[in-house]
Structure 1
Amino acid sequence: MMTQPFHTPHHGPRRLVERWKAVAADHRSRAAARRWRHVGTEPRWARSDLPARRLLGRIVVPFFLLGTIVFTLLATNVLPAPRADRAFFTGLAVLCAVSTVVAVIDLVVIRRRMAEQRRWHR
């Protein structure tokens, strides 16, 4: 006898979506439980570095953003530059923009992980 675990003729698409949401929630909770599983090699009173990373990210993001703006203005000759080397200022602007995006993504990840720590009382 074959049974279909997700969809049967008696249940509509709403039931299927509810089932998928339950499976996804179960996967998320299992992944979180795996993250906090202790194997015995970690220090007993280890502290999280998330608050320090958050502080560093909050300090660095405005500077990278300001650098992106200034170097973009220098590359477009809106601001007077000591040397008119557009490629150099364009490269610095791109480097600052990429660093800004990476720092903002890191802040989002930190926020999610800190919420997870609060939820699991860590």
Structure 2
Amino acid sequence: MTQPFHPPRHGPHRLVEHWRAAAADRRARAAARRWQHSGAEPRWARSDLPARRLLGRIFAPFFLLATVVLTLLAANALPAPSADRAFYTGLAVLCAVCTVVAVIDLIVIRRRMAEQRRWHR
């Protein structure tokens, strides 16, 4: 019995399938490399994630509070020493950026710790 003839697939849908398969392969290889041991790491290495989480939990509220206070100083809502308004605005922006970085780091830490629990690391 002969097989029915199927014309070769061509066109954009074939390229999309190929790109999706290649992307899935890259993700699988990256995940495998993440947990690959080279022998250069310490045998009983400990994760730095709990320390980073502690620092993030301490400094995110601190930077948020500093942002609020410096914004109020820049708006002349609080009595302040004779400093330039642009100085307080710049410091408020810097503290706001640090707050955002700390919150993003806490989100990344949560995801990585869940991944470690899932892989029993």
TM-score (normalizing by structure 1): 0.77
1:32–1:46 distance in 2 versus 1, CA, 3 Å: same
Q: Output the amino acid matched with 1:74.
A: L
Could you say which residue in structure 2 is the equivalent of 1:45?
44
CA distance in 2, matches of 1:20, 1:118: 31
Could you say which residue in structure 1 is the equivalent of 2:66?
67
Unaligned runs of 5+ residues in structure 1 are: 1-7
Could you say which residue in structure 2 is the equivalent of 1:105?
104
% identical equivalent positions: 80
Residues 98-121 of structure 1: CA deviation (Å, up to 9, x unaligned): 100111111111111111111111
Residues 7-40 of structure 1: CA deviation (Å, up to 9, x unaligned): x6xxxx9xxx9x9888766544432221110001
The RMSD of aligned alpha carbons is: 2.4
CA distance in 2, matches of 1:63, 1:79: 19
Helix, strand or coil at the partner of 2:87: helix
Could you say which residue in structure 1 is the equivalent of 2:91?
92
Residues 49-106 of structure 1: CA deviation (Å, up to 9, x unaligned): 0011001100110000000000001001111111141011011101100100111111
CA distance in 2, matches of 1:22, 1:121: 28
Could you say which residue in structure 2 is the equivalent of 1:3?
none
Question: Does 2:53 correspond to 1:54?
Answer: yes
Specify the structure having the higher radius of gyration (Cα).
2
1:86–1:68 distance in 2 versus 1, CA, 3 Å: same
CA distance in 2, matches of 1:55, 1:20: 41
Q: Output the amino acid matched with 1:52.
A: A
1:45–1:109 distance in 2 versus 1, CA, 3 Å: same
TM-score (normalizing by structure 2): 0.78
Unaligned runs of 5+ residues in structure 2 are: 1-8
